[in-house]
Chains A and B, each alone.
Chain A
Amino acid sequence: MKEKKFEEVMQDLENIATELEKGELDLDQSVAKFEEGMKLAKQCNTILENAEKRITVLLQDGDDLKEENFIQEEEE
């Protein structure tokens, strides 16, 4: 299954919140939605927390592409 885009997950969160807030679901459905929402929120947070800063520079050598950490040159 294709991984859901972040914005799609955010949209899902919004939908779940709206539906829950309407209060029309019965208790079982509400609990199910709540659990689903919390799971998604946790996934989002995991995405945010697990990213790791990386600034690289791509160097082309013919057809080869090398990736190195980018160290900014001091300004003259």
Chain B
Amino acid sequence: MTYNPISVTQLNQYIKGKFEEDEMLNNVLVEGEISNFKHHYTGHMYFTLKDENSLIKCIMFKSYTSHLDIVPADGMKVMVLGTVSVFERDGTYQLYAKAMKQVGKVGDLRAAYEALKEKLQKEGLFDQAHKKPIPVMPKCIGVLTSNTGAVIRDIINVSTRRNPNVVIRLLPVPVQGEGAAEKIAAGIQLMNERQLADVIIVARGGGSLEDLWPFNEEVVARAIYASTLPVISAVGHETDFTISDFVADLRAPTPSAAAELAVPNIKEVALKINAYQNRFEQSLLRKVQLMKLRYEKCMTSHVFTEPLQDITQKRMVIEGKAKSMQHQMQSIFQKKQAQAQNTILKLDAYSPLKTLARGYGIIQKQGKVIKNVVQLQPQDEIQIRMQDGEAKAKII
């Protein structure tokens, strides 16, 4: 019977191969506490990562350590990104770290952020009622940010594009690190005290929570709240929300957006003003046309075109009435005349004069007509009336 053993090297190589085939082990993110930390003179870092029950050896090569923004130390809680592989010489596996971030501190920052946010919210620092409107046409834009880098460049580019005559005052401030918050707050105060601008942009480019931290500090929040000049906050990327964003009168998702919000597009404004001028002209023109139309309508009225027509018409009516009056008078007169003649004829027929003419006489006693003999006594004096006069007589 022949045995066919493999060498230790071969075994470890085989195991290493198995590790390398595994995708998870090739790119693993693991959290733990650092212990046995050694920063070797070669520049590599050796340490173990542990939790309550277990540990793993770790190494971070010099080429990666330069990217670290923390100084690892024993007891530090970290998150490590790396590859698990086999160290063939010792037959051990270990974590080859490529990046490392402190965990506990970020957790603390997050908690501090939430606590401050809640506190200031309760105090009313985020109240909509306190927010000031951003002026439509600020004469001067005050910018608080770093005087180098993309942020100020973007703000200047966007602002200049929108308004070629823009006036910008940059007050350079550190936007990260120790003391930055105090400088930012002092800058806001200075802008207010000396009235250096009509609107303030507080801006910073994207970064980690630690990088953006000054904008999560109370001193900055209070300075923004106290500012009588409207403040636009543009910190980090669109997805980053800082305390400054909440307190500011307006939050811009990015520094470029802040410039767009602060600087009016001059062409649009000019167009708008031009549109108003057009509207004024059109309205007045319409008014004049309307008045002209009314005037013309009035002038076509027959009152103006034939001013005598009405009078002629009325005169004709009057004349008609006068004529008809005349006719009526005439006809009444004629009727009455005929009646009168008729009566005269009758009267004439019955006239006592006619009787007298025929030879009759009228006897009167004391003015009374005597019709019967019994009315007369002897010696009565009477008057006899005849055709041509009167004669006195005495009854015998």
Contacts and interface: CB of A to CB of B under 8 A. Distances in A.
Interface of B is mostly: helix
Contacts of B170: 55-58, 70
Contacts of A5: 135-137
B171 to A, nearest CB: 5
B164 interface: yes
Contact of A20 (B135, B160, B172, B279): B279
A54 interface: yes
Contacts of A20: 279-280, 283-284, 287
A1 interface: no
A26 to B, nearest CB: 9
A41 B283 CA distance: 15
Interface residues of B, number: 42
> Could you say which interface size class chain A belongs to?
35 or more
Nearest to A37: B280
Contacts of B284: 20, 30-31, 34
Contacts of B280: 16-17, 20, 33-34, 37-38, 41
Given A34-B280, A73-B148, A41 B169 contact: no
Nearest to A17: B279
Interface stretch (B92-100, B243-251, B270-278, B357-365): B270-278
17 contacts: A16-B280, A21-B279, A27-B291, A30-B287, A33-B280, A34-B280, A34-B284, A41-B273, A44-B269, A45-B270, A55-B168, A57-B170, A60-B190, A70-B170, A72-B153, A72-B156, A73-B147
Interface of B: 135-137, 139, 147-150, 152-153, 156, 160, 163-172, 190, 194, 196, 266, 269-270, 272-273, 276-277, 279-281, 283-284, 286-288, 290-291
In the A-B complex, the 9 residue pairs with the closest CB atoms: A6-B137, A20-B283, A51-B165, A7-B136, A17-B279, A13-B276, A37-B280, A34-B284, A55-B168
